[in-house]
Amino acid sequence: MKKLPSTLPNMLCVLTLISVIAAGALAYVNEVTAGPIEENKARVLAEGINSVLGVSDAKVESTTEAEDANGNPVILYATDKGVAVQAIDPNGFGGKLKVLVGFDEVGAIKGYTVLEHAETPGLGAKAGFWFQKGEKGDIIGKNPGEKELTVSKDGGDVDAITASTITSRAFLRAVNVAFHAYAAGAANADGQTGASPQQQPKN
């Protein structure tokens, strides 16, 4: 095969051809993987909802999206076994902290899981277990409607993660927002929900 002369038009043609082939390959890969990725997300969400509600077979009956007072997204999942709420606090030590919290019929916390965080390994990353039942910062069974959850340093009754007060505050703010969304959803007969305004303590 005769080698093309190294002229600008020839090089542009070759680069264009390579770009077209690469774009086509990427589009194909995206199409092939889109389905499995969505299925995996649905599976992870279902496992999370079951976990925070303490069951194994919850079925989501409705999903309501809203925003908290600061414009952050809140998602309420009403299931046949209870209600789970996803909330975000953007002001963790490392950035955004996203939680999923399960509530019983009176608003007490049944369980939680941290869906996303950028906290320091070994410190703020402990939020995933620090506030679980039997741990130092145990919030399971507490009702944020009776008393807003805050760390003891701010006059509350929840022990902050050692050396990670900022993360602990962000986590509890997210849980409180989740509760307000749950309470608003339970109070509205038409199923529409929204998070109540909430003041954030200074770090």
pLDDT confidence bin for 152, thresholds 50/70/90: very high
Q: Express each pLDDT in 26-83 by its tens digit.
A: 877 777 766 666 787 778 889 999 999 999 999 999 999 999 989 999 999 999 999 9
Tell which residue, 192, 138, 203, 135, has the closest CA to residue 164.
Answer: 203
Distance of alpha carbon 40 from the chain centroid: 16
pLDDT confidence bin for 104, thresholds 50/70/90: very high
Claim: this prediction has a pTM higher than 0.85: no
Tell which residue, 185, 198, 151, 189, has the closest CA to residue 82.
Answer: 185
Residue type, 198: Q
203 pLDDT higher than 80: no
pLDDT confidence bin for 1, thresholds 50/70/90: low
Q: What percent of the chain has pLDDT over 70?
A: 86
Which residue carries 């996803």 as its tokens?
86
- Stated length of the chain: 203
CA distance 102 to 53: 5
150 pLDDT higher than 70: yes
Distance of alpha carbon 20 from the chain centroid: 37
